[in-house]
Structures are given as structure tokens and as C-alpha cells.
Amino acid sequence: MNTTTQKGMFGKEYAWRGIAVLCGLFVIALTLVIGAFLIYKGSDTFLKFGHTLWEFLGSAKWHPVDSAEGGGAAGALIFITGSLVTCGLALLIATPFALGSAIFMTEISARFGEKFYRPVVEIFAGIPSVVYGWVGLTVLVPFIRNVFDRQVGHSILAAGIVLAVMIFPTITSVSADAILAVPDACRKAAYGLGSTRWQTIRHIVIPAAAPGIISGIILGLARAFGEALAVSMVIGQTTALPKSIFSTTKTLTTEIASQMGNAMEGGELKSALWSMALLLFLVSLLFITLIHYFTNKGKAKAEGGKA
């Protein structure tokens, strides 16, 4: 082979490899830049406007001033509580159904499950959140108002139900994968000892799949925690701590979505909103860490060495 074409060949090799490496670097840079911007913008509340972390996390006084002078109150407890309560409610509603569905499509009716049920669940997963929100607003909210005889149907309950339907597919399909990964030999051993199917599922399959199921639940929780618009549509948007599941309140995401557009650049309100975005970012990092922890635990369980 003559040397110039060879040189061209290797030159191209290096060029393409360089592009691939650059794209990898870009992804890293992008993530770091996002993190850096959030820290940069979100720290103003504490550094520039002098609020304490304790005030931000623990106080329900929310009167940030929409100007660069500051001096207002920036307690985000209402929104933190709102987020926690709606997500907790959503998990409470979605988890039993999702687990039941996952068991149905793997253990009870595997053929029907793989052919029809899983695609149906995946379709659920693809429905845009604004559509969920809109249906929640036009169907669920009036329903709650009439059935429970409230003045308004907007409520934590409505938000919890909308979120539950949204995260149901996530929990279902991750749990189903975890259950499918349980070796068949375990089921056979259980049946061989005279277990019924339910005993096998309850005492063998679910404990063995538990780390994967928990990862699925955390993934669902992460999705619920970050959802903004669907929740905004049905939660009623009042700045007050909730008293019951029929209360209207706000969450971190709904407050960001509704205030960010009105707030002045560089003002105290905007900084406080950025701090809330930073909090969302940190919480999603926490979720990732938890998922890693449970995945590793699952691996250790399957290998048996350390467990």
C-alpha cells in the first residue's frame, strides 16, 4: 500500500476518534456547566441576600422582594412540603398498583403480559405530562369537587393522583425487569417444596427482586419530583402549608414555573427561585446515588459473597 493513502487513512482515524472523544467531553462539560450555573445562580440567596440555609429549608415565610435590594423572607418550606406530600401520596397510590401489574405481566400471565400489557404500559409512559395535567384539570378536579363536596377540586389529592398515573409505568416496567431477572431455579425450588404461586411470589420472588423494585420506585419518585406543569394545573397554587389532602398548595416546581417569568433578573425573588432549582438538582443527584446503592446491593445479593 502506498504511504500517502495510508497516511490519509490514519489521519481520518485520528480525526474521527477526536470527534468521538470531543462529544464525550461535551457531555461532561454540559453537565458540569449546568451544575455550575445552578450553584452560581442559586447561591445568591445565601451569599448576596444573606439568607441562611436554615431559613430557606425550614421557614414557611415566603416574601422575597422582586428587586436587587433584598430584605424579604425566603423560606421555601411550603414548596418543599408541597413537593414531598404530593410525591409521597403519588407513591402511595402508584406503588401497589405498579407492583401488582409487574407481577401480573411476569408471574401470572407472562405471554399476555409481554405481548400486550408491557406495550400498553409503555404507551402510558409516553403520554405528555401536559395532557395528563389537562385531563386532570377537566375530569379529575370536577370529580373530586363533586364527590367530596368541596368548594374547589384543585388539591394535593388531585396532584397525587395525576402524578401516580404518570409514574405508574416507570415503576411497573423497572419492577417487571427486576422480577424477570430472578432465576427460574428459585421458583422451581419453591414449587418443589410445595409452595403455592402466591407464596412463591411473596416469599421468594419479591425479596429477590427487591433492590430492583426499590430502584424503580426511586425512579418514579424522581420523575414525580421534577414534574412541573401537570402538577401546576391541578394543585390550586396557594402559598400556604397544606392542612389536609384537600388543601391547595404549591410545590418547588410549580412555584418556579409560575414565578420565573415575572421575576426581575438579579432580584431576590429570582435568586430564591434559582435556589429552589438548585435544590431540585441536588435531590435528583441524591436519587441517582440511591439507585446506585440499591443496584449494587442487588448485585451483591445475587452473588452472595458479601450479603
Partner 1 sequence: MLKTKFEIEHLNLHYGSFHALKNISMKIPANEITAFIGPSGCGKSTFLKTLNRMNDLEENVTIDGTVRMDEKDIYSEMDAITLRHDVGMVFQQPNPFPKSVYDNVAYGPRIFGIRKKSQLDEIVERSLRQAAIWNELKDRLKKSALGLSGGQQQRLCIARTLAIQPKVILMDEPTSALDPISTSKIEDLAMELKKDYTIIIVTHNMQQAARISDKTAFFLLGEAIEYGKTEDIFARPQDKRTENYITGRFG
Partner 2 sequence: MDKRIQRARRADRAMTGIFYGIAAFFFALLLAFTGKVIIGGLMGASPEMFAFARQGAIGNQLFNTVYLVFISLLVSVPLGVFAGIYLAMYAKPGLFTRFLRICIETLSSLPSIVVGLFGYLVFLVFMGMGKSLLAGALSISILTLPLITTTTEDAIKGLPAGYFQAGMGMGSTRWQAIFHVLLPACIPRIMTGVILAAGRGFGEAAALLYTTGSGSSLRWGNWDITSPTSPLNVLRPAETLSIQIWNLQTNAQDAALANLASAVLLLLVLLFNIGANAWSRHINRKNSGEKA
Instruction: Look up residue 49 and give its amino acid.
Output: F
Q: Alpha helix locations (H) across the chain? A: 3-42, 44-47, 53-58, 77-103, 110-112, 118-126, 129-135, 141-147, 156-180, 184-192, 197-199, 206-226, 229-235, 252-259, 268-303
Instruction: Look up residue 60 and give its amino acid.
Output: A
Main-chain phi, psi angles of 64, to 5 degrees: -70, 145
Based on CB atoms, which residue is closest to partner 2, 149 or 265? 265
Taking CB under 8 A as the criterion, the residue among 58, 119, 142, 183 binding partner 2 is 119
Provide, rounded to whole angstroms, the least separation between the CB of residue 53 and partner 2. 20
Provide, rounded to whole angstroms, the least separation between the CB of residue 110 and partner 1. 10
Report 51-90 residues binding partner 2 (CB under 8 A): none
Report 187-216 residues binding partner 1 (CB under 8 A): 188-196, 199, 203-204, 207-208
Provide, rounded to whole angstroms, the least separation between the CB of residue 178 and partner 1. 13
CA dist., res. 48 & res. 64, Å (int): 13
Q: Does 193 bind partner 2 (CB under 8 A)?
A: no
Q: Does 293 bind partner 2 (CB under 8 A)?
A: no
Taking CB under 8 A as the criterion, the residue among 7, 58, 63, 198 binding partner 2 is 198
Q: What residues contact residue 156 under an 8 Å CB cut-off, 6+ apart?
A: 82, 85, 86, 89, 235, 242, 244, 245, 246, 247, 248, 249
Q: 301, 279, 280, 282: which is closest to 214 by C-alpha?
A: 301
Q: Does 183 bind partner 1 (CB under 8 A)?
A: yes
Taking CB under 8 A as the criterion, the residue among 80, 166, 178, 201 binding partner 2 is 201
Q: Which helix (H) or strand (E) holds 74?
A: strand 73-74
Q: Does 23 bind partner 2 (CB under 8 A)?
A: yes
9's grid cell: 487513512
Provide, rounded to whole angstroms, the least separation between the CB of residue 301 and partner 2. 22
Report 120-179 residues binding partner 2 (CB under 8 A): 120-124, 126-131, 133-135, 137-139, 165, 168
**Interface contacts to partner 1, rule CB under 8 A:** 183, 185-186, 188-196, 199, 203-204, 207-208, 301-305, 307
